[in-house]
Every structure is written in structure tokens, then in C-alpha cells.
Structure 1
């Protein structure tokens, strides 16, 4: 075949046939061309003999013969990480009279051979045999690159990811904060209870990330809590060395595959925007469930080797105590939260989860708040989680406080209210604008018409009209609405008797 070297066997066959046949015939019978036969006639050596005697570079003299030991090797010994092209450029500058550029491949080949024989020892990656039921792994992966938005707002989030190494069964959930113990404990327990069993060993590098820049006593506290969490499920806790990602390689590859699946599903969906966070969480869970359905056979093999779960979950939250101040709320981890004004002056015990705060007064559950995050820039800045219902009663008595309220922009429950304030603050004097805006918020709260009132405000804004508070109060005032009369006809007792008797006869 053209371009394919002949073998020693073909050459011997040709030489034997050439004694009794013409050159072209003998070459065809040996399986090569007449031109190759002509070269064999001129040089009867076997192909293996010619290859062994062939000089370096396909018959050309080695251009680095006199430079290798004096120039190249000392450089490689001093800095083994030097690339051949770097050495070649240096030699071209120092020896401009030599045409070394065409010999780049030759230099690369010789450097590669030198490193194999004389280079430094390289790190060896040891492939592991993972028996069923032995190990589960946890990790966090940043998903901001997916470009997911909730109601048009970019979602800054991660995914907690758990994988059984043997079967590849996985669990994932959206995490809004960082790689904290709370997120790990919650995600891990949800994964185990979704699986219905636990492996013998749990491996993670997320706690190393959570420990960074923490005080020694805090690090020790988190270490004890993590060990207690694994002990509750009879798992041996292990962590890979910090900064060595390949030691968690069984899940690192799964992270990439999971993000690729979600990205492809978003492209197929045609949009990365979701109406609510719960919708996006269901979307992620659906993608993972579809993948797990392909691993049913492997999971069936692994399930008998897993351990049974305890009777209940263990703690997956941070516990702290706060005091509701006269400002109508409390500050926790650089975030100000409003609370119902009836709790001002009370001490509340707060259970801090990744996505919410559960607040208790004594042993009784008081209320639940969405978890907030502090701004990313500036140490002195605070985040705000504000519910206008908590402060509207006091704000109604002091409407002028609305204008310069610290968390004014977070007070609006919907975008229509924020747009309305912007229009009124520009068109009306401050006193009238504040009084009208507070009146609208009070109307939304007292008559439970937040969504309907927002639509009415949108209509006013589209018509470029200032909202008429009195007209809106008349429209949405539940107390003035007439209740329709309903006539209820009560059957007589004999009607029930006839019904029962008829039923027995049947």
C-alpha cells in the first residue's frame, strides 16, 4: 500500500521471486510497487537493517550534536521544566549562523527522551478499586457559569453533590451560601435519607474550604461536629489533602458531568429563567433523578452492602440567640432581619439553615425568615431581609420616616411598588409621597391584596398616572364590599329516615 513501509518478509519474498520472474511481477507478488523493488535492487539490505543504520533526522546530520552536551543538557539539569521551544529560541539567538528552526521536532524528541531517562520523578496517580458500599463522597461545585436567573435576577449559587463511588448514584441540591458545615450537614443527610442507607466511609474536601481563615477554636468545633455527624450514621469521616483535587477525583468528574447535563437541559428548555427558586430546585432534582434511573442495576448490587439509617436525622443547623431591638429586628452575621414588633425586647433562639431562619421564643416556634447574605463588597456593609408587614403598623403612624429609611428599597414587596415610589418621589413633594406610599403598603397588608394592588399600580404606571390612594382604598376595601346572601335549605328529619330505609331495602 502507498505510504506503508514494507517488512523484512516482503523483501525476502521479492528477492526469491526476482530470480525467476520479472521485477514488476515479483514486486506485485510480494505486495509492493515496482519503484520499491528498484530501490531493493540498488540496496539489498532488509528494511530493519536500513532502519537501524539510518542516521538521526531521516538521513540528515543531527544539528544539535555539538550543542547537546554543552548547551542543552546543562539547561535541562538546572531547570527541567524548560520547554524545547524555549531552548530552541535561545539557541537561535546565540547561534544566528545556524538554521535550527527546521530541527524543532528533533530537539523536542531528544528533550523528551532525556526527561524520560534523566528527568525528575513525577507524581503517580494510583487507580483505586472501590468495593460496593464502601465510600460516598461530597463536594460543592460553583454553578454561576450556568447563568440561571430567578424572576430575571441572576442566581449566585452552588450545588451540593453526593455520589456513591461504586454505583455512581448521586444526589444534588441548590446551595445559596458558601461551603459551610450547615450546607454540608443538610445536603448529606438529605442524600442519605433519599437513598435510604449510608456507606461505611464519607469523604469530603468541603470542610477544608470551610475552615479557611477561621480561628483555631472554631476549626476544632467544626471538626467535632463533622465527626459527630458521620458517627450518627456510622460512617468513617475522611478528607483529602487540602488543594489536592484529584484525591476526590471520583466526584470531581461527576461534578463536571452534572453541570454539563444541567446546561444541556437548560438549552433544551430554551430559557435559564425560573419563576421561583423552588421551580429551579425541582428542575435540578429531575435531571439527577433521570441519571439515577440509569444506575438501577449497579445500585441494586450496592444496596445490600450499605448500612441502615438511624431512627432520625441529627442537627443540620447553627444555633444562636438574638435580641429583637427597638429597630424592629435583629442583626445576625452582617444581615439585618425584621421581626414582628410584638417580639421587640425578647430573646429569640435562632436555628440558622442554609436557606432560612427558624426563630423560637422559649420552646415554641415563633416565625420563619428567609436567609439573607451580606453584600460581597466592603466589610462595613450589611444585608437586609425585610418584611413590610412587620413594620407597617409603626410606619403608618410615622410615614415621614419612610423617605430616609435605611432598608427602604428592601421594603417593597413587588417591583410595581418600587416603581410607584420612584414616580411619586419625582412628581410629588416628599410629605405627600411618603404618606401615599405608606398608605398603599398598609392597604396591601390590611386587605390581603398585595398581588391585585400591584396589578392596579402597573396599570397606573403604564397610563402615566399617579395612583389615587382614596380610589384604590374604595376598590380594595373588604369592609365595604357587600357579602352576597346565601339561602340554606335544611332537610327535615323524615327525609333522612326515608333515605336510610331505602338504603336498607336495597
Structure 2
């Protein structure tokens, strides 16, 4: 069997022997494993040899991505689908990790790599990544060529020679594949000691990852300092770590990019916007003027479009057409917090559709105009828990401006002759 199929597993041979000879004792497995191992040492095929390399300080930096699904991290109670971009200097062991919300892409690589280089204060002469096969996925030949050129330009900006692993040969990136496991083990230990895997926001989680990596770097402090001294100096500024495109805002006060629907203020309807697409955000420009930053959304694995909706962008129009809420394509994404969605379900079940929509739109308008989104959400959550509808009159009274609380502002005018002191330089 070993000669006919050299790659067969020992357990398969063991099970076949028991099938052919039922009288054999199952306890022979360990003996069989030792004998097969000895036979392969004498008669087995040649194996691939790993050649250990001599590494010089300042020469090689490595990049790769690693999945974080097993850590079950949540942000504000919502599971965080993410991975880590991981950079390492081969000689000193300096590490840097950056939380990536999307898949492996050039944007994620460019942002993470530049963050790492500026954190260590220099650049190695060579940068090695995997084959970027994940970033190339679903791209046509022109897009792949453009991605390759952009990666080469990124490395050239920092004076690094770009190299890539051969696809499917994992050990060629062994200098960072193994540290992946050590880093994730350190993160897991830190999460256990923290006592919770939930974070208030993404910034808190990123700060947590930075602290874990910093502790690992402190153990290699002397070697990192020695390598830092021979790294290439950084250029005067970072290069682009985003993709740029042009979108047109439609009459629905929105645009669609990468199968994700985004709302923007209605004053931008009809305008062409320049969008800088980062891993976790979109920066919007009109001409050279920065307008706003939006959270980046993702489409679903089944091909369905994603939605990034801000109710404040459309609430003024929705107040004039409240029935539009009933069949709105992005209705569930319009609600800023879960209690708003739950209370709308109760309104629809208990009231005529027109009245329910009007009440819901008024609640959203109240949250926006009175800057009470969180407080109002707490009151609505209490109504849901008590199985009752919101008291609209009471809410209007509670969140209406109180004239008695408005400050009485008195402006005292001074004589214009007082300003003459500015011309004479004399003290008043």
C-alpha cells in the first residue's frame, strides 16, 4: 500500500488492515505508525527542503493578512467581521497590525503598510507580500495590471523593491505566517484577561490591538532600535492609500458605489462628487473642498446591495411625504437605533398606516431637530418593554424648547469714541 500510494495516511492503512484482518488488536496503531515512519525514512519519497536564510538588518519587511473570525469580537454588541493586516521586519521582529473591515485589497495593504513604516520610522530595502491573489479576485486583466502598477509605485515611493511569494507556497512567507499565530494567541490572552470581547466602538478595539502589539515590540526593543538605525529614511509625505472615483448624486439624495447605497444631504442632488475610497470610510469632495466622511459599507455575499443611510439627510423631505416610509427600500437602515424600528412595528400593528407613518416620521424629526436621538431611543425602548405605544403629546412637551430656560442675553453697547484708543495707543 505504501509503494502504490506513497502519500496515504497511516490511519487509512490501519483501518484497511483491521478491515482485512478483524482479529488484529486495535492497540497496534502506535506500533504501526512507528514502523511506517521508519519504512518511509529508508524507502519513502524525497521531501521538500526548507532552506534557512541569513537575514540582514534593514533589508526585508513582510506583509500579510490574517482572519480574526475565531476571536468573536463585537463592537457595541454587534459581531465585527474583520481581519488584521500584519507587517513585520524580518531581522528585529518589529510588528504592526491594523484592523481591516473589508477583504484583502490594495487599499488595505497601502494603508496598513504605510502606517507600519511611519510607526517604525523607516523603510526596509525590500518588501515581500503574498501574491495579492485575494485582491486580484474578480478583476479583469486591465484592473489587475493597474493594481500591480499601483503596488509597484507604492514601494517605489518608499525606496523598497517589491517581491511576492509564489502562489500556493505558504512557507515562502514563513517569516510572518508563524508570527500570525503568536500575535493571535497574544490577542486571545489579552481578551481573556480583559474579561470581555465587546468594545464600545471600533476606535477602542483598534487601540486595544495597538497595545497588544506594542507589548510584543517592547520585548524586542534593543533589536528594533538597532534595525531602525539602518532603515531607509521616509519620504516627505505618505502616498495615496485610497482609490478615487467620481459619482453622481441622484434624485433620491444618494449614490451607489461598489454595490453599496449611500445617502447624502439633498443639496448635493445632481452634483458630481469625487470620492476617496478607504478600507473603512469614504471621503467626499466637491471640487477641492472636502464635504464629509461616510462610513464605508459592504455588499452581502449573496450579491445583495448594502446600505449606509443617515436619516438626517432625508428627514426634511420625509416630513412632507411620510407615507413614503411604508415601502421605503432602505427603511430598516433608516432607523438610527433598534428601538426606533421596534416602535415602528408596533405603530403599524396598532394604528392605520397613514397615522403610524406620520408618528414615526415625527419621532425621527424630533430626534434630529432636538438632538435627542439617544435619550428618545431610551424612552422608546421603555415603551416597547411595557408593550405600549409612545405618548406623542408627552414627547412633544418633553423635547420642545422651554422659553423659560432660554438665556436672557443683554448686549451693552460702548461709545464709539472708546475705539480711539486703538489709534492713539493710550490706555483707557
| TM-score normalised according to structure 1 size | 0.77
Rg: which structure is higher?
Answer: 1
Q: Is 2:325 the partner of 1:402? A: yes
Alpha-carbon contact 2:120-2:228 (below 8 Å) kept: no
1:122 Cα deviation after fit: 0.6
Q: How does 1:227-266 map to 2 (within 5 A)?
A: 227-266=152-191
Distance of 2:100 and 2:170 partners within structure 1? 21
The root-mean-square deviation of aligned C-alpha atoms, in Å, is 2.6
Give the secondary-structure state (helix, strand or coil) at the position aligned to 2:58: coil
Alpha-carbon contact 2:131-2:166 (below 8 Å) kept: no
1:151 Cα deviation after fit: 1.1
Q: Is 2:235 the partner of 1:310? A: yes
Distance of 1:282 and 1:125 partners within structure 2? 37
Distance of 2:117 and 2:42 partners within structure 1? 50
1:94 Cα deviation after fit: 5.9
Per-residue displacement from partner, 1:142-180 (whole Å, max 9, x unpaired)? 101101111111110001111111111111111100000
Distance of 2:103 and 2:27 partners within structure 1? 53
Q: Is 2:194 the partner of 1:279? A: no
Q: Which residue of structure 1 lines up, in the alignment, with residue 41 of structure 2?
A: 116
1:273 Cα deviation after fit: 0.8
Distance of 2:42 and 2:335 partners within structure 1? 71
1:469 Cα deviation after fit: 2.4
Give the secondary-structure state (helix, strand or coil) at the position aligned to 2:246: strand
Counterpart among 149, 159, 163 of residue 84 in structure 2: 159
Alpha-carbon contact 1:138-1:203 (below 8 Å) kept: yes
| Structure 1 residues without counterparts, runs of 5 or longer | 1-74, 492-506
Give the secondary-structure state (helix, strand or coil) at the position aligned to 1:121: coil
Distance of 1:181 and 1:489 partners within structure 2? 60
1:114 Cα deviation after fit: 3.6
Larger RCO, structure (CA 8 Å, separation 6 or more): 2
Q: How does 1:282-431 map to 2 (within 5 A)?
A: 282-377=207-302, 379=303, 381-431=304-354
Q: Is 2:66 the partner of 1:141? A: yes
Give the secondary-structure state (helix, strand or coil) at the position aligned to 1:202: strand
Higher mean displacement: 110-119 or 429-438? 110-119
Distance of 1:476 and 1:106 partners within structure 2? 80
Q: Is 2:355 the partner of 1:432? A: yes
Compared CA separation, residues 130 and 484, structure 1 to 2 (3 A): same
Alpha-carbon contact 1:420-1:457 (below 8 Å) kept: yes
Give the secondary-structure state (helix, strand or coil) at the position aligned to 2:229: helix
1:86 Cα deviation after fit: 4.6
Compared CA separation, residues 138 and 440, structure 1 to 2 (3 A): same
Distance of 1:315 and 1:422 partners within structure 2? 45
Per-residue displacement from partner, 1:69-121 (whole Å, max 9, x unpaired)? xxxxxx4332212355655665676678x979787666655543442233211
Q: How does 1:207-222 map to 2 (within 5 A)?
A: 207-222=132-147
1:484 Cα deviation after fit: 3.3
1:259 Cα deviation after fit: 1.0
Distance of 2:398 and 2:371 partners within structure 1? 13
Alpha-carbon contact 2:242-2:276 (below 8 Å) kept: yes
Q: Which residue of structure 1 lines up, in the alignment, with residue 424 of structure 2?
A: none
